Amino acid sequence: MALDVEGIILKSFNYGEHHKIVKVLTEQKGVIGVFVQNANKVNTKKSALVQPLTCARFNLNPSHNANSDLYYAYSGEVVEYYLNLKLDYENVAYFYCMIELVLKGMEDEQFSAYVYRMLKNFLDAAENGYCSYLLSLIFQLKMLAVIGIAPVIDHCAVCKGTENILTLSVRQGGLVCANCYQQVEPILIDAPLIPIVRALYKIDVEDLPEIELEEELLKPIEQFLDAYYDAYAGFKLQTKKFINNL
Ligand SMILES: [Zn+2]
């Protein structure tokens, strides 16, 4: 049955000399593979349908092969190019990190609508000047629950107390109070920063508020996320290496 679907292009691969296969994040079907014939030929309308970080509407046919979950694009139209965002390679790098997280971390289709809406809103926000670095941190925080490794963020992860919360611990998987803190672990997130992390963790991705935060406040959050993902995600983010050299 033909399928008419809007999606965000995450990644593209060459297939032969002229064709491409793209990974597309959709609201209803999660990440799907789409074969785009003649996408590499210059001046074809289809070449726009294989550019990562583009939102497009695809008219698709399922594969004739029953064992293949690949779709064939017989036509399509770009909904949003995100040209402002793509002018800045740092912005692009932050979004490539989000894309890698979707491809490696979103195994369960039940989250596809949520992740699709989030990525779409973040692309729209970045296109209108919202800080991509901050968006990438919020995205990484939000993906923790999607991957199934959400930290304990409302009370001490060990004793469940709410008094004297000292830090957000990688080792102990969430907030820890002064009594439960193990000194072998360095403090990345100190007490004054905890309300900010919690606010970002709980932010409404459908309605992003204006936030002014110094980069030096965000750096420890990034370090925490790097360490937390390393400890629990079960995969490595290749784009991180590039971002760390920015
Ligand atoms: Zn405790």
**Residue 74's CB: how many other CB atoms inside 10 A?**
13
Task: Give the distance (Å) from ligand 1 centre to CA of residue 159.
Answer: 4
pLDDT score of 234 = 92
Indicate whether 74 and 90 sit together in one domain: no
**What pLDDT score does 123 carry?**
98
pLDDT of residue 67: 74
Is the Cα torsion angle 219, 193, 97, 230 positive or negative in sign?
positive
- What confidence score (pLDDT) does residue 205 get? 94
Q: Are 225 and 141 in contact (CB under 8 A)?
A: yes
If asked whether residues 71 and 104 sit together in one domain, one would say: no
Ligand 1: distance of its center to the CA of 171 in Å?
Answer: 14
The residues pairing with 5 across neighbouring beta strands, listed in sequence order, are: 58
Is the domain of 23 the same as that of 53?
Answer: yes
User: What range defines the domain where residue 188 resides?
Assistant: 84-244
| Distance from Cα 217 to the centre of ligand 1, integer Å | 25
User: CATH code at 149?
Assistant: 1.20.1440.120
Q: How many whole angstroms from 141 Cα to the centroid of ligand 1?
A: 22
SS3 category, 201: helix
Output the tens digit of pLDDT for each of the chain's 246 residues. Answer: 789 999 999 999 999 989 999 999 999 999 999 999 988 887 777 888 999 999 999 999 988 877 778 999 989 999 999 999 999 999 999 999 999 999 999 987 889 999 999 999 999 999 999 999 999 999 999 999 999 999 999 999 999 999 999 999 999 999 999 999 998 888 999 999 999 999 999 999 999 999 888 889 999 999 999 999 999 999 988 888 888 777
Between vectors from CA 174 to CA 169 and to CA 180, what angle results, nearest 5°?
65
Based on the domain organization, do 234 and 141 belong to the same domain?
Answer: yes
Quote the ligand 1 centre to 97 CA distance (angstroms).
33
Instruction: Quote the pLDDT of residue 87.
Output: 95
Domain count, the chain: 2
**pLDDT at residue number 104:** 95
Distance CA 162, CA 45 (A): 57
| One domain for residues 95 and 208 | yes
Residues near 132 by Cβ (< 8 Å), separated by ≥ 6?
85, 88, 90, 91, 94, 95, 126
Which of these three, 41, 60, 81, is where a domain ends? 81
CB proximity list for 230: less than 8 A, separation 6 or greater: 236
